[in-house]
Amino acid sequence: MARPNRLSLTTVALASAVLVIVALALVFFVAPNDANQGFSQRIFYFHVSIAFTAYGCFAAGAWKALRYLWKHDPRADLESYVAIHQGVIFGTLVLLTGSIWAKISWGHWWLWGEDELVLFLVLYLFYCAYFMLRFSVDPGPQRANFSAVYALFGVVLIPVSFLAIRIARSFVHPEVFTLHGPNFGGWILVTYCVAQAALLVFAHALYRIELSGKRLDLRIRELRIA
């Protein structure tokens, strides 16, 4: 029995469609060209937004995990899993868009000097292992416990890795990149905010779709057993 949601799925999906279209329009037609990097810099609006959306998904996954362990909310396990799944999907996009940007701007498909990209790589490995863990255990309370605990580890790992990569700079790569720090004024800020909002809503829509699909799956299986 579904909890009554504040907004129906249709509303969310429509909102995300509208926002994404507006964002695309702003990114490609309205925002001014970057002085140094030209047109290619536009991918940045998406790259950064997707990155924060991914972090948001992982944080949501950890929050649901906490609810599962602490409040014994049985629905929270699936919600945590779907959130993290979304996070990994968006994480893949971060790595892809980051890589494309690196190739266009610097001529290399991968840049170890790009902190945020490296951070994502570490987290990506971590959350991929989440899936390996989950699929290596039969469904049940033990799997839910393991997943929840591991999700909590992930969320602690995010700031710790960030710090680690920062301090690793002094012995790993001396190069410093002047990246996504265009002057955040005027239309650039607006475009970024719209892109970010669009992606967050889009992610939420995907989350709701996947969640309802998985819940249906589960319900069917339960009916079959009973």
Residue range at the interface with other proteins (CB under 8 A); choices 8-16, 78-86, 186-194, 218-226: 218-226
Candidate list 60, 69, 206, 211; residue touching other proteins; CB under 8 A: 69
225 binds other proteins (CB under 8 A): yes
Which of 71, 138, 174, 223 forms a contact with other proteins (CB under 8 A)?
A: 138
Give the total of residues touching other proteins (CB under 8 A): 37
CB-nearer residue toward other proteins: 159 or 186:
159
Distance CA 50, CA 55 (A): 9
Q: Give backbone dihedrals phi and psi of 179, rounded to 5 degrees, phi first.
A: -105, -130
Which residues within the stretch 151-170 sit at the binding site for other proteins (CB under 8 A)? Answer: 152-153, 156-157, 160-161, 163-165, 167-168, 170
For position 133 contacting other proteins by CB under 8 A, the verdict is yes
Give backbone dihedrals phi and psi of 113, rounded to 5 degrees, phi first.
-75, -10
Residue 38 bridge partners (DSSP): 34
Q: Would you count residue 213 as binding other proteins (CB under 8 A)?
A: no
Closest CB 117 distance from other proteins, rounded Å? 14
Contact 100, 92 (CB under 8 A): no
Q: CB–CB of 168/159 below 8 Å? A: no
CB of residue 158 vs other proteins: minimum separation in angstroms? 11
- Stretch of residues binding other proteins (CB under 8 A), selected from 4-12, 82-90, 140-148, 190-198: 140-148
Select the residue interacting with other proteins from 126, 192, 202, 207 (CB under 8 A): 126
Q: Output the smallest distance, CB 196 to other proteins, in A.
A: 27
Could you say whether residue 209 binds other proteins (CB under 8 A)? Answer: no
Q: Candidates 20-28, 51-59, 77-85, 119-127: pick the segment binding other proteins (CB under 8 A).
A: 119-127
Q: Which residues are at the interface with other proteins (CB under 8 A)?
A: 69, 122-123, 125-126, 129, 132-133, 136-142, 145-146, 148-150, 152-153, 156-157, 160-161, 163-165, 167-168, 170-171, 221, 224-226
